[in-house]
Structure 1
């Protein structure tokens, strides 16, 4: 391959790498005398001739679409050609390492570093989304970082064209699903919100050293199920980046922030303008948003934000209904006000239009409850469950009430018993750790360790955040197999027995 001339113009020099979608070579554009990166795209396995032709056309189309995007944090596509029957993308050459390689070499990144890199990637996605382009495959391997820390995103739309990270014709999962959004894992088409989720998974992996749903190298199907259920542990090492991660990893795509909003949030973290976010859901994080009619959110992209943008970065609600055996998504909620010039960036915990059954949220104070009040409130809360669920609802703070009372009831509908197995212990100014055992209607037993964050409302401690940090499930043993020796068989055997006198009975 070295020395080959592609399309009469691109001379291959050296192989830069290879992946699921093909090989990447350093080449020289002999017409313009500039180095370029050439990706020879590998078509999906098991395709017929007609399907291969469709794939080639898709790749060419996606390449042309990506070529329209010009942004300082996007790898530019210069040309789309064909060589030996395979599509070839000719791209800007970037002397860099992928974020995946960076984390492998250096270990998990500091939250501020991840935020700085992520802000650049988010700004690229914001520009792409305004142009009507969805990346579809945001992951660490597609985030390129050069020596001075400049980020460029590669492979816009190409994964979709070749069917990467999808179910193949033979029913086999191709590619890793670790960075997919839940709706994509369930079969929905990718959207701009899906890109935002994938960026969140990418940054989670950068600071935690592992994707939120696991790597899935040995069992990608299991990872796919976890992604579809939005089942992931809260980040432990993300510090001030945590609220942003929890917001972009919201299970509901309609409640995720836009890439433009994420850009501003990540810049704030990178510039240490979000130090109050180190404790998720704490009183310090629930700062009321500050707005100004003169405020303006200005991006380093061609995409301006409206003045005084209120940014909804709420975490996922607790998912109710269905089987309680699926992992419940516990919300980590909080309000963040990040100064943007004279304006502010708000992480809101309440929906703009609250659910009709949510009830009026109590007005919390900023006082810190004493330890006895905290542990007593947690014990009383679990003592009400599951039989007195409406009374337990009244013990929730404003962040947890955003889910609505109907959802909350559904969450506990399959639970028949709740037992506190490890007494509540105060672990920070407003947080309590407790062990509980839940028994479900089908006999399944779930042992959980939970961290609850509390706030004061006129002297009453209310539970404002509830996260599951450890969980183990045991299912009941199957019922004994039925006795297949019916009376007919017994009679059949009995008919051959002899009586006491040795005669047939």
Structure 2
């Protein structure tokens, strides 16, 4: 295996370097320099003498220090990695050229990839921002789908095993602990193999069936969270610590994820049966990347090295373990390992410990009752004090509105918003003491608006948000501020179907599109309509599919006000069907327990309705639509 001659002489592309003895495998692959190592192997930059090209060659670590049993286990793992990789051909998965076995060693010959690991990228940049994180995450997912289609499970998806090239291509590497159909899973003492912060909770459940594609998707969710938030969602020195953190705090906080949060939340569902499948996750990531209002993390908002929790996985303790040691360096550990807990007591503890992002905005923690302790001050005085404190801490009012609902709430080409909901939001802001320039509109959709509130990205949501019993726990409502009916939007001309009523839609069993997270998902299921999958994040996505004759979408289900705006904007292409049964009440939403804001918003809405301002807004924006006439709702009842 040793060769004193170095590279093969004279041909173009011959490996340069000093004439010192080098390892040459099978007389063909000359090992030039080590370019990386981890718990499962060492990777060399090598020269293929036969094809005159540089390649990457991976072999086992510390072969001479292994016992006979550990050597057999390590070789079995390496053979499995080569077999697993040889099954897959995808641009987001490393390519295997060859497999060679010599002297109790297995060598895997792969395409040499130039780039840095995602772990290196995160160490340097901390937070990647939503567009970049979504783009890399989508590529990892597409690679995983190819892996799973080949009946292979990666089992160690993490930033250290993703290579990011300069042009942005992300490549999934290191299949050292992969498993595939027909192979025996290698574990030690029956314990699953993997890197603790990325291991799905079901792997440790009694009578666990072992890793599944859903386990890889969990690890992708952890990786997406790292990219977007700059930290791990669940930390711990050992497997049991990570798993206890997942059980105790299944919902990590989201500060920078924005529209990525629903994707991550879906991938991090503790019950694998509730977890997003790969196809749905891919569709959601694509929707995020198509969003024209996609927010990148501004440099001023990114966590600093001193302030941000460390994203590097905790080091493994010494001694034999069945869990792979992370490839990342063990530095920068610090003491920021506390989990985020639901409830006031722990939120306050986090604030006192230095994580004062919550109350720094002047918000009261969820469930707080303010000055409700029965003191001598009159209740109105206590309420005014709470409001003044809230108002002084919030110089800008951030309002979530939709960007794709003509006449109701629409983003214009110049970046401004207009419509009935927008006018309602501005009128409320004025009553709260805000000037027009102090109101910041943020585009939301049906799927992310509650998380945008929860994670402090908006203060209010005025976005055709239907008041339902199911939503009362996740947000607080003031309203209703308008009523809407239910209806369908269909193509005006269809070569295949004649759709003049909801009965025609059901009879023809056509695909009905509705937005992800809307009340219509359950309604359509109950009424036995066929729902188009996957659901887009907004109704504009449904309308685009309806207008595209290459799709299987022939109807869109939603509220009459919302769909009437699309029919008004595209009168030659689509039409509304009759208004169906049911009424939707739109409410103004805010975080639960935000008493100072809720009280003022309630007062403001009452004034808007009783003063005649509501009718002025309705006449300006909605009276031109082909809808049954409707009047203002009753003023809301406000707590004193």
TM-score, with length taken from structure 2: 0.45
Give the one of 583, 586, 592 matched to 1:366: 586
Change (3 A) 1:285 1:180: farther
- Check if 1:81 corresponds to 2:100: yes
- Check if 1:178 corresponds to 2:192: no
- Per the alignment, in what secondary structure is the counterpart of residue 339 of structure 1? helix
Aligned position for 1:251 = 270
Give the one of 202, 209, 214 matched to 2:223: 202
Give the one of 273, 280, 283 matched to 2:450: 280
Do 2:158 and 2:220's aligned partners in 1 also have CA atoms closer than 8 Å? yes
Aligned-pair distance for 1:366?
2.7
Post-superposition CA distance 1:172-230 (Å, at most 9, x none): x976310111112435411111111111110101111111102x3x4454124324667
- Check if 1:226 corresponds to 2:429: no
Higher strand share: 1
Give the one of 27, 33, 45 matched to 2:52: 33
Change (3 A) 1:428 1:91: farther
Change (3 A) 1:29 1:268: same
Aligned position for 1:339 = 541
Do 1:115 and 1:241's aligned partners in 2 also have CA atoms closer than 8 Å? yes
Instruction: Find the aligned partners of 1:16 and 1:428 in 2 and give their Cα distance.
Output: 62
Aligned-pair distance for 1:75?
0.6
- Per the alignment, in what secondary structure is the counterpart of residue 149 of structure 1? coil
Change (3 A) 1:231 1:14: same
Instruction: Find the aligned partners of 1:68 and 1:280 in 2 and give their Cα distance.
Output: 42
Instruction: Find the aligned partners of 1:203 and 1:221 in 2 and give their Cα distance.
Output: 22
- Per the alignment, in what secondary structure is the counterpart of residue 197 of structure 1? helix
**Unpaired segments of 5 or more residues in structure 2?**
3-20, 295-442, 454-460, 467-485, 496-509, 518-534, 553-581, 602-632
Do 1:177 and 1:185's aligned partners in 2 also have CA atoms closer than 8 Å? no
Post-superposition CA distance 1:224-266 (Å, at most 9, x none): 4324667351322101111111111111212222223222211
Do 1:73 and 1:153's aligned partners in 2 also have CA atoms closer than 8 Å? yes
- Per the alignment, in what secondary structure is the counterpart of residue 153 of structure 2? coil
Do 1:120 and 1:263's aligned partners in 2 also have CA atoms closer than 8 Å? no
Give the one of 148, 160, 179 matched to 2:167: 148
Give the one of 37, 40, 53 matched to 1:18: 37
Do 1:182 and 1:230's aligned partners in 2 also have CA atoms closer than 8 Å? no
The root-mean-square deviation of aligned C-alpha atoms, in Å, is: 4.6
Change (3 A) 1:52 1:261: same
TM-score, with length taken from structure 1: 0.56
- Per the alignment, in what secondary structure is the counterpart of residue 22 of structure 2? coil
**Unpaired segments of 5 or more residues in structure 1?**
295-306, 315-333, 346-361, 379-422, 431-456, 462-505
Do 2:80 and 2:176's aligned partners in 1 also have CA atoms closer than 8 Å? no
Change (3 A) 1:174 1:128: closer
Give the one of 287, 312, 317 matched to 1:268: 287
Change (3 A) 1:308 1:13: farther
- Per the alignment, in what secondary structure is the counterpart of residue 212 of structure 1? coil
Aligned residues, how many?
335
Instruction: Find the aligned partners of 2:584 and 2:65 in 1 and give their Cα distance.
Output: 60
- Per the alignment, in what secondary structure is the counterpart of residue 444 of structure 2? helix
Do 2:98 and 2:110's aligned partners in 1 also have CA atoms closer than 8 Å? yes
Instruction: Find the aligned partners of 2:62 and 2:511 in 1 and give their Cα distance.
Output: 47
Aligned-pair distance for 1:67?
0.9
Aligned position for 1:138 = 157
Do 2:98 and 2:108's aligned partners in 1 also have CA atoms closer than 8 Å? yes
Instruction: Find the aligned partners of 2:233 and 2:490 in 1 and give their Cα distance.
Output: 33
Change (3 A) 1:76 1:311: farther
Post-superposition CA distance 1:43-65 (Å, at most 9, x none): 89998635642542343134213
Change (3 A) 1:251 1:60: same
